[in-house]
Amino acid sequence: MGENSWKGKRSIDKRKIKSSCRVTVFEKILLEINSFSQLCTYVSCAQRNLAKFSNVFFRESIDLVSSNLFRAVPHSSTNARAAIRFGESYYINRINGIDDISFQDPSWPHLELVYRFLSSLLKSPMTDPQLAAPCIKPSFILKLLDLFQSEDQRERGALVSVLQVIHRKFGVHRKLIRNSVFNVFYCCANEKHNAIPHLLLFLISVVVEEEDDDDLGVQEEFRLFLVRGLIPPYKSKYLVLFYLHLNSCIQKFVEKDCKLADTVIQGMLRHWPTVGSAREYFFLDGVERVLEESQPDGFQLFMIPLFRRIASCLSSPHFKVAEKGLSLFNIHGNIQKLIKQNLDVILPIIFTDLEESAMNHWRPEIQKLAHHVRNSLIGIDPELYEECLMHLK
């Protein structure tokens, strides 16, 4: 592309930005899609021509994005109502990775291009962070976070990508982003908030993974958030909607600092369901992830109260809970190592429930699995098993 044609293209696209700075009417969506497609092409051309974006261009681009993205988002609760309405069956579907309840915004074809343009603009090496940072005002970031209430998962996924880029490229905004994300968890521990699963993905990919190894161990900011922001959601009645992301995020914290395992397990035990239910499955999944990162010294701090809870799960009438509890004893690696090292303490705690599950559980598959676990434990220490059997009789 020649210099004259490039300058002409820049003037054309500046006019296109100004013409697009309005709330899109759905009937004109095809026209707007064409405009944003050309803007995305313009950003790509700028990179090929090594043309830095000016402060004016970036500011007008942010105004364009703001005009097209920031809108009233309906606060329906389809998934939450379904979880309560269908009860146990919905829990089982979520455990099996099934979720056929989703909302698709009819304006997404347009919104997708807006997000694509914003993402490409932020990621472009032609965007100077020092010049562009003042154009991204705190109000812009806060409004982006408000959009996480969208019912369309595709939009929330796009928002995560944008937030990651801003956090990584514009250091001046990191504190605001973290505090704003933390506040969502502080305020919504027991409320439905569409943002929770995707903000957990953000924490995993940015706040946790990109921290230096030593930072997480010494920064009190993260310890406080773990205790005040990530443990309380375990008591939420909407845990079914985000337990996988929550458990993965907590696992990353423990992976960075194994000393946090005791804090996490003790917190989970405080919120453990008192009546046997499918919710125990979510807790067992979290326990498994934490134990994978635990060290022997820390494990002994919470071993006894934890395996008292696990013992009750082994004979649970809910077959998924019983299956998950028994599977902890069949996992090779760190968990198996911890159990072997402390079997003299663990086996007496679980023995009665293990035998009950092996002999009397209503589901044949659970009986078979319990027999397998029992045989494995006998193979590790047959004398200890015989001793426990004598005490039972």
* Three-state secondary structure readout of the chain: CCHHHHHHHHHHHHHHHHHHCCCCCHHHHHHHHHHHHHHHHHHHHHHHCCCCCCHHHHHHHHHHHHHHHCCCCCCCCHHHHHHHHHCHHHHHHHHCCCCCCCCCCCCHHHHHHHHHHHHHHHHCCCCCHHHHHHHCCHHHHHHHHHHHHCCCHHHHHHHHHHHHHHHHHCHHHHHHHHHHHHHHHHHCCCCCCCHHHHHHHHHHHHHHCCCCHHHHHHCHHHHHHHHHHHCHHHHCCCHHHCHHHHHHHHHHHHHHCCCHHHHHHHHHHHCCCCCCCCHHHHHHHHHHHHHHCCCHHHHHHHHHHHHHHHHHHHCCCCHHHHHHHHHHHHCCCHHHHHHHHCHHHHHHHHHHHHHHHHHHCCCHHHHHHHHHHHHHHHHHCHHHHHHHHHHHC
The average pLDDT across 364-378 equals 97
Domain tally for the chain?
A: 1
Position 220 scores a pLDDT of 81
Who has greater pLDDT, 214 or 84? 214
Residue percentage of the chain with pLDDT more than 70: 80
Who has greater pLDDT, 91 or 357? 357
87 pLDDT band, cuts 50/70/90, is very low
Position 6 scores a pLDDT of 47
pTM (2 d.p.): 0.84
Who has greater pLDDT, 249 or 81? 249
Span 215-234, pLDDT tens digits: 444 478 888 999 999 999 99
Residue 184, pLDDT > 80, answer: yes
**Is residue 304 in some structural domain?**
yes
Position 361 scores a pLDDT of 96
Q: Which CATH number belongs to the domain containing residue 390 in this structure?
A: 1.25.40
**Is residue 69 in some structural domain?**
no
34 pLDDT band, cuts 50/70/90, is low
83 pLDDT band, cuts 50/70/90, is very low
**Is residue 106 in some structural domain?**
no
Position 102 scores a pLDDT of 72
The average pLDDT across 105-111 equals 88
**Is residue 275 in some structural domain?**
yes
**Is residue 266 in some structural domain?**
yes
345 pLDDT band, cuts 50/70/90, is very high
Residue 310: give the domain boundaries. 258-393
